[in-house]
Each structure stands twice: as structure tokens, then as C-alpha cells.
Structure 1
Amino acid sequence: MSEGLGTSSPVRGEPTREPRAAGATGANSAPDLGARGLRRRAVALMLASHLGPTLAVTLFATALCAGMGAPATTWLAMAAAVLAGQLSVGWSNDWVDHARDVRAGRADKPLATGRLGVGAVRAAAWSALAVCVPLSWSLGWRSGGLHLVAVAGAWAYNLWLKRTAWSWLPFAVSFGLIPVFTALAVPGRPTPPWWAVAAGALLGVGAHLVNVVPDLEDDAATGVRGLPHRMGARASTVIAALTMLAATACLVLVPGRGLRGAAGAGLAVAVLLVVACAVVAAARPRSRLPFALAMAVAAVDVVLLVGAAELLV
């Protein structure tokens, strides 16, 4: 396939163009066709960024930073830095996995279907990473440096670790660093306690497991052998549920909090979501719903963590 945006294949099922009416001029129709093509490619580029997880992680980090009392300039800078980093991670994932996605017949991947060229997505990934660096440093050398470590961990997963038994490690490190680099961006905030870091790490491992389970067969056929592939779908689902519950417990059963009020309600909601995640994953192994439920658990945990902001000092 040729690289670049200008050589993408037409989308299957797209309506054919109406014949041009008599007397119509090319000057009127050509710009419309170009605009439609640009819109389609822009949508395809956003899909290739793994838009759901990208926005979820960005919103989580931004909400946590704002909940810790950061001024608007700080949490807006946090949002921009995390968004750029997550876009680079999503695009690099589809770029690196292009050949495997084609072999697996992934109709949900714009690169695999030819809607985008490899060169365009690769350029987008590197550009987003280049933008992420100064945005991260604007948060301060400690916060920005740790955010870049988290982004580097995600890139390491895409480039190598996803094919090893250590596939869980980048998720544990990168998610565990979220409460740390968000806290360090807020003036006067110390490093958060161990339970906040542990909750982020456990949540990251759980999200990794439930996200990979639907693709186990496709990944195995293309040579990917991460930890979930070695454990199998059932064991991965059970461990994912346990890690997500443990993450929520870290945020609820902390000194000075206890199972009262919002904390107890948050734990109850998280338990229901985790049970639903496990049931759906067992009944429909290729469903993406368990990952969405895992992200909902993450949202509950962010709310719990923001609510415990006074305990992070």
C-alpha cells in the first residue's frame, strides 16, 4: 500500500456520486469532494488514535489534577500534555501493528482497511510525541518528566513488550504514575501515598487484561504472546476482576476514610461493574464491553481519588 493520506482506498459501502446536473461546473463540485475526503480521513485518523481510551485517560488525569486544587492554567496544561501523549500512543499502536492487523482482517482499523496510509499515521504519532515533550515540561521537571516516563512505557509496550510475558508492566507503571505526576503538577502538593499509586497500577493491569482478551485469537495468529495470551481468556478475566476490585479497595480502605458515604457507594458501584465485566467477558469473549466497563471502574476510582484529595497530603 502506498503511504500518505492522498492514497487511501475508498470506504466500502460509501454511496456513489450523483451524476452532475447539466450545466454544472467543476469549480463547484471539486472543492466539495475534497472537503468530504478530508473529513473522512480526519475521522479515520481519530479512529486510529484509539479515541475512547485516549479521551478517557486524558479526562481522568485532568479531573484528578483539578480535584487536587490546581489552577486552571495547570490542569489545562495537564489536559494538553496527556492528550498529546495518548494520541502518540494510539497512533503508534496502529502504525506498529499495521501488518498484523491486515493479516487478521481487522475491519475496525483504518490502516488495515486502507482508509489511511502508514506514513500518515507514523507522522501523526511522531508529531504528537514531539508536541507532548514541551507540554509535559511546562508542568515542571518532576511532573513533566514522570509523565514522559509514562508515555515512554506505553510506547515500549507497542514496540516490544506486548509480545512478552511482561506486557502488563507498562500498564502498571504508566497508570501508577498518573496520581504522582498529577499531584506534582499542583503547587505545594507532595508525592501521593502508596495506596494511590497502587490503585493506579492495579487498575492499569486490569484494563490491559480485559482489553486484550477479545483479540487473543487474532493476536495468537500473528505471533503476539503477551501475559493474557499465556494465561488464557478465563484466567485473564478473573485476574482482571480481582485487580480492579483491589484498586478500588486501595482507595476506600485507607486510613481516615472507611466505608461511609460516597466511599461505600463507590465501592458498591465498582463491585457491580466488575461483576458485570467478568460475566460479559466469560459469555462473550470477543466483546469490547468489558473494556468499557473497566473504564467505568476507572472513572469510579478517579472520583474516589479526587474525593480523597485531602488524604493525599
Structure 2
Amino acid sequence: MTQPILTLKDVVVEFPGLRGLKGLMAPPEQRHVQAVAGISLDVQPGETVAIVGESGSGKTTLARAINGLVPLAGGEVWFDGMPLHERPDWHAVRRRVAMMFQDPSGSLSPRKTVRDLVLEPFAIHGIKLNDPGAKAADLLATAGLGPDFLARYPHQLSGGQARRVGVARALALDPAMVLADEPTAGLDVSIQGEILNLLNRIKTQHGLTTVIITHNLNILRHVADRVAVMYLGRIVELGEVEQILSTPAHPYTRALMAANPEPDPTARHERITLKGETPALNARPSGCEFHPRCPVARPECAERAPLLGPTPGAGQVACHFPIHKDETNNA
């Protein structure tokens, strides 16, 4: 196997918890909350890894930590042999690691034309172009937009068009890796398909490594090679996309898949009911943090936290009592 282009080792991201007098009187573990709580992951060159989970599971925070937009509280991040946890030259790193933000319109300055927006990375990095207009038109063409969009402003763009401008801007400096945060959020289904086809075409043509943050499980089969499932800032299951979709081993993964809308009206609709609500980050349950909501939890789940271990399908799962293939099919 080739050397991973991205390696995460026990990555931790913390945010302030209780403040003021309450913070001073609270136990030390409640003064900070861990949004990302010890994640380890390897991403191979040219691979697309999707990170999925409920809102608040730490997906976006993890992506921002990789690109240095939020500081690490612990662990290591390596990109193409560079230790990003050792205060690197982020100006240089971000020439090779591009970010597509969740809100395509909100990430575009309303005072700039599309031409200026897609050329902005060159200005930031001090790169002079012989023909800026031609370069801007080429980037838009790569993203599926014509040159007539160059003079438009963000408020004149639809959601899908704004997303395409974001794609063009992310590709401007020919990065080795793209972090795409919810690339289909807020888009109509037909536009989602166009964006997914665009991402796949770019991946094939440019050999891009992509980390996609999403809660839209319907897109996984179309774009992802592997899937990492997050719960309360931890990876609870990791595997090939077909394995995760068809034979999930973790009860939480299984619940996510069962809750996903099924367009086939004749399909069976077996649902897994999870108990209670997602716990607060500053009140993590003991043992397996999913056990208060888990339909198959046993006493030992509340006593001992599971570690990621191998599954029969060559994936990894953090569960004392993972679901086997026959159980999944008979559920």
C-alpha cells in the first residue's frame, strides 16, 4: 500500500466549556469540551473518504482542524510527510489543501465579482498570471460554468452556481487534497447530482484526494471509497462504502442507515428506535458513550469503552457486540 497522504493520530480538539464562577467551581473535565476526542485515520492519495454522523458529531470541526482553522488540543496531523501539528507554514500548506465551505454563498464576498473570487487565491499567495481573465474562464469551465458568469456577483447566483464557483476557487492552485464540507447541502436533488458528477469528474481528471463531510447518506455510494462514522467526536465505524451501506456493524451506523429516506415505496422500512437524545459533550456517558441510546447494550457497555477493532468485512468498529451480517439482513 502506498504512503498515506493524510494521517491523523489521536486528534483532539477542545472548546471552552463552563466560564466564570461556574467554570472555577466545576471539575476540570467540565471546563473544556472535546468536540473531537481522539481520532486516528489514514487517507490514501486519490482516495475519497466521507465522514458522516449526526449534527454535532464533530465532522466539520475535524475538517477545520486538518486545515489549521481550529487549534489542536492533542494528537498529530501529517499531510504528505509534513507535521501540521508543529506550527507549519499554513500559507504554504493551504496552497495544497483546499477547503470548500458548507455555505457556498456565505463563503463568497458579496463585493467581489466571480472573476475576482476565483482569482483571489492567486492574489493571496502572490502568484502573477499572464492572462488572469483567461485563467478565470478556464477555472469556471472546469466547474461547469461559462464565461458569462465572470462579471456576476454572488447575489446573482443560484445555490448550485455558487457551489460551482466554490469548486473553481478550491481548484485554483491545483491542490493535492480538498476538504469538502457538506458539498450538496441546501441544493435540489437534480443539482446535487450535477455537483456529485462534477466532483467525480474532477477527481478522475486531477487525481484529487478528497475528504467529504456530509450527513447526506444518499451521496455516499456515488462519491466515496470509504466511510468513517462519527459519534460524539469519535470514529465508531470505518470501512469500504458498500460494506458500511449494506452490512453496518455498529448499532449507531445501522440506525443512521435505517433512518435514511428510501425512495422505493415497495421497500421494507425497518426502523431502529434509539433511546433518548445525544448526550452533551461535557456530560459524556461512562464506558461506550453510545450505550444509553443503544438497543443492544449490555451491562459491560457502561463499564468499558470499546476500541476500534477489525470486522469480518475488513472494516473497523468500536463496539463490544457488533452486528453480524446475518443479523443485519434479518433485522
Q: TM-score range by the shorter chain?
A: under 0.3
TM-score by length of structure 2 reads 0.25
Greater fraction strand: 2
Greater fraction helix: 1
TM-score by length of structure 1 reads 0.26
